[in-house]
Amino acid sequence: MEIKTLISEEELKVRIAQMAQEINGFYAGQELYVIVALKGAVIFAADLVRHLNMPVRMEFIRLSSYGNDKVSSGKVNAVDISLPNLNGKNVLIVEDIIDTGLTAKFLLDFIALNFKTKSTKFCSLLDKKSARKVDVEADYYGFEVDNKFVIGFGLDYEGHYRNLPYIGHVS
Ligand code: IMP
On whether residue 166 sits in a domain, the answer given is no
Q: How confident is the model at residue 77 (pLDDT cuts 50, 70, 90)?
A: confident
pTM of the entire predicted model: 0.95
pLDDT of residue 1: 80
pLDDT at 171 over 90: no
Q: How does pLDDT run across 33-74, given as a tens digit for each residue?
A: 999 999 999 999 999 999 999 999 999 999 876 555 666 666
pLDDT of residue 143: 98
Ligand 1 pocket: which of 4, 99, 156 to mutate (most atoms within 8 A of CB) = 99
pLDDT of residue 76: 81
11 C-alpha to center of ligand 1: Å?
21
On whether residue 46 sits in a domain, the answer given is yes
Q: Is residue 45 exposed (0-12), middle (13-18) or buried (19+ Cβ within 10 Å)?
A: buried
User: Could you give the residue numbers annotated as active site?
Assistant: 99
Q: Supply the range of the domain harboring residue 24.
A: 8-146
On whether residue 31 sits in a domain, the answer given is yes
Evaluate: CB of 47 within 6 angstroms of ligand 1: no
On whether residue 157 sits in a domain, the answer given is no
Comparing 17-21, 61-65, 90-94, the range with the smallest average pLDDT is 61-65
pLDDT at 99 over 80: yes
Evaluate: CB of 66 within 6 angstroms of ligand 1: yes
Give the helix/strand (H/E) hosting 170. strand 167-170
30 C-alpha to center of ligand 1: Å?
30
The residue among 128, 109, 127 whose CA lies nearest residue 117 is 109
Give how many domains the chain has, as a whole number.
1
On whether residue 13 sits in a domain, the answer given is yes
Torsion angle, alpha carbons of 90, 112, 78, 86, to 10 = 40
Q: How does pLDDT run across 144-159, given as a tens digit for each residue?
A: 999 999 999 999 999 9
145 C-alpha to center of ligand 1: Å?
12
The residue among 80, 104, 94, 10 whose CA lies nearest residue 48 is 94
**Strand 90-98 with 167-170, pairing:** unpaired
Evaluate: CB of 101 within 6 angstroms of ligand 1: yes
Q: Output the domain CATH number for residue 115.
A: 3.40.50.2020
pLDDT at 79 over 90: no
pLDDT of residue 75: 76
